[in-house]
Amino acid sequence: MGRRALPKINPTIDYSAWFIDGKQLPDDWKLASLFAKDQPLEIEVGTGKGLFINSESGRVPTHNYLGIEIAQKYARFSASRLCTSGRTNAIMMAGDATALFKKFVPDQSLAAVHVYFPDPWWKKRHRRRRVLNPHFMRDIERTLKIGGTLHFWTDVQEYFESALADLATSTYLEGPFEVAEIAPEHDLDYRTHFERRKRQLDLPIYRSEFRKVKAECCAAPLVSLEESEGIDDPGMSSDDSAMLDFEGESQLEYDATTIDSTDIDDDNDGPNHITSDDRSRRDTLDD
């Protein structure tokens, strides 16, 4: 059974202070202007319905959190949750994380980068679209402070192993460090909705943590996407491709019912959320 579309946000909620459209940022925009308090900054790439950024920003009020989500609907939905929770240290941004990192995130400015359950792009010819590619890994390394961490989790073993291999050859990041599975203390005590669903199905989760220990980045040359063999659309990033899913014919429609963001079905990403992973799996089956 397909999952229901994401519910509408209650129109009485003014979440504008928690939402930024990355496409509207001026060229001279500064990341440091986001928060009133100067605190360590962490970025989550691909927030989905926002469980992690909402929970973590409440758990660690001494850090600032920026969530970047390619799908406007989910970025706005997550922003509404932050608004409802009254977070003063977390903001959502809609946009292509790979482009935003390159343009707006300064060197050695982040305490952590979080990438949880990104689209695995199952088809071999599409794997270059994965967000954790060597080029973006370099940008993550560049933007992390010394001692800063990269957190990468997935339920796809092949993606996990290939990403770890690329991190070893494309960066100086130290790791992977083992991340222990922690028993939840309550029904939503998970890193993401996707983790919750997978663990309740007793399916494996592959977790890793990396740490920046050197100021310099790995100097080994990378082949550009344009120069890579077999690239039919070299200008398309993984996030550009994902945007096609949300802006094309397969775009999700809101449920007819308007609800408050506190009333969403937090059972998992579904039935209210079709994840990028599920779209790719569906596409594979449709072949």
Q: Is residue 220's pLDDT more than 90?
A: no
Please state the rounded mean pLDDT for residues 105-112: 97
Give a yes or no: residue 89 inside a domain: yes
What tokens were used for 229?
A: 């063999």
Q: Is 69 annotated as a binding residue?
A: yes
Mean pLDDT of the chain: 77
Q: Is residue 213's pLDDT more than 70?
A: yes
- pLDDT of 240 reads 44
Q: Is 193 annotated as a binding residue?
A: yes
Q: Is 186 annotated as a binding residue?
A: no
Please say whether the beta carbons of 57 and 111 come within 8 A.
no
Please state the rounded mean pLDDT for residues 3-32: 90
Q: φ and ψ at 167, to 5 degrees?
A: -60, -35
Q: Is 53 helix (H, G, I), strand (E, B) or coil?
A: helix
Q: Is residue 23's pLDDT more than 50?
A: yes
Give a yes or no: residue 191 inside a domain: yes
Q: Is residue 178's pLDDT more than 50?
A: yes
Please say whether the beta carbons of 17 and 81 come within 8 A.
no
Give a yes or no: residue 99 inside a domain: yes
- Give the percent of the chain with pLDDT over 90: 53
Q: Is 114 annotated as a binding residue?
A: no
Catalytic positions, please? 119
- pLDDT of 268 reads 35
Structure confidence at residue 11 as a pLDDT band (50, 70, 90): very high
Strands 206-211 and 174-177, bridge-based pairing = antiparallel
Pairwise pLDDT comparison (241 vs 165), residue with the higher score: 165
**CATH code for position 263:** 3.40.50.150
Pairwise pLDDT comparison (237 vs 252), residue with the higher score: 237
Give a yes or no: residue 1 inside a domain: no
- What one-letter code names the amino acid at 129? R
Give a yes or no: residue 158 inside a domain: yes
- pLDDT of 237 reads 43
Give a yes or no: residue 258 inside a domain: yes
Q: Is 195 annotated as a binding residue?
A: yes
Q: Is 166 annotated as a binding residue?
A: no
Please state the rounded mean pLDDT for residues 225-237: 42
Structure confidence at residue 91 as a pLDDT band (50, 70, 90): very high
- pLDDT of 218 reads 67
What tokens were used for 98?
A: 């790979």
Pairwise pLDDT comparison (182 vs 81), residue with the higher score: 81
Q: Is residue 118's pLDDT more than 80?
A: yes
What is the sign, positive or negative, of the torsion defined by CA atoms of 104, 108, 109, 111?
positive
Q: Is residue 161's pLDDT more than 70?
A: yes
Q: Is 232 annotated as a binding residue?
A: no
Q: Is 62 annotated as a binding residue?
A: no
Please state the rounded mean pLDDT for residues 68-83: 96
Domain span at 149: 13-286
Number of structural domains in the chain = 1
Give a yes or no: residue 7 inside a domain: no
